Chains A and B, each alone.
Chain A
Amino acid sequence: LAKTTQPISMDSYEGQEVNITCSHNNIATNDYITWYQQFPSQGPRFIIQGYKTKVTNEVASLFIPADRKSSTLSLPRVSLSDTAVYYCLVESSGSARQLTFGSGTQLTVLP
């Protein structure tokens, strides 16, 4: 399982774009990247997933460079309700899943 490294915390202001980068230097060919969001007292919630280049949905964008050794979650125009912990995961397609979560990034959006 590829190990991931992400910043422990980040602060932002309402209306700004937030980019959270995750390093996964030993990502394997079949691995893909998934991001989850967790609010206090709730379970993690899926945000976005990708294998390479760029993926966009109604909530976020995910940028993955050609070497795939990192990925960046981009949240456009954050609001106070985006304050949460964001987890980056790397997993292998088709393998028995453990989905090891790191400590995540605590994003705090300030007014």
Chain B
Amino acid sequence: NAGVMQNPRHLVRRRGQEARLRCSPMKGHSHVYWYRQLPEEGLKFMVYLQKENIIDESGMPKERFSAEFPKEGPSILRIQQVVRGDSAAYFCASSPPSQGDSPLHFGNGTRLTVT
């Protein structure tokens, strides 16, 4: 039973380019969460999605960042016109449809470096 899969593991972009981060949740999970972690800091919530719906994007910067979780395929976190401050580890987590108190299952992240 594969866990949460994130790719790529490492991504290097020049300033001004676009970054696309992918997350495939665990089988049977329909809830996806994205977090950002700066060096030496804790995880910061960005966005919570269910299939085809954004439930909570209160942690997402208003500009340049967007997320989707289509009916088919992985969830995508998209960062347009990247800047050096976007360099961080981006983690995706998933949980099953009946949330209750189900713990989150995290992927191993995508490390974005903006040069």
B72 at the interface (CB under 8 A from A): no
B residues with CB within 8 A of A: 4, 31, 33, 35, 41-45, 48, 55-56, 58-59, 91-93, 95, 99-101, 103-109, 111
| A103 contact set on B, CB distance < 8 A | 41-42
Binds B, one of A19-27, A37-45, A62-70, A71-79: A37-45
A residues with CB within 8 A of B: 32, 34, 36, 41-46, 49, 87, 91, 93-94, 96-104
Q: Are A96 and B55 in contact (CB under 8 A)?
A: yes
Give how many A-B residue pairs fall within 8 Å (CB-CB). 62
| B105 contact set on A, CB distance < 8 A | 46
Query: Nearest chain A CB to B105's CB is how many angstroms away?
Result: 7
Partner of A43, one of B41, B42, B91: B91
State A81–B35 Cα separation when bound (angstroms). 25
By secondary structure, the B interface counts as strand
State A36–B42 Cα separation when bound (angstroms). 12
| B93 contact set on A, CB distance < 8 A | 43-44
Query: Nearest chain B CB to A84's CB is how many angstroms away?
Result: 13
Q: Are B42 and A99 in contact (CB under 8 A)?
A: no
| A32 contact set on B, CB distance < 8 A | 101
| B44 contact set on A, CB distance < 8 A | 101
- Most B CB contacts (10 A, CB to CB) among A41, A43, A93 go to A43
Q: Are A43 and B4 in contact (CB under 8 A)?
A: yes
Q: A43-B93, A99-B45, A102-B42 are in contact. Are A94 and B99 (CB under 8 A)?
A: yes
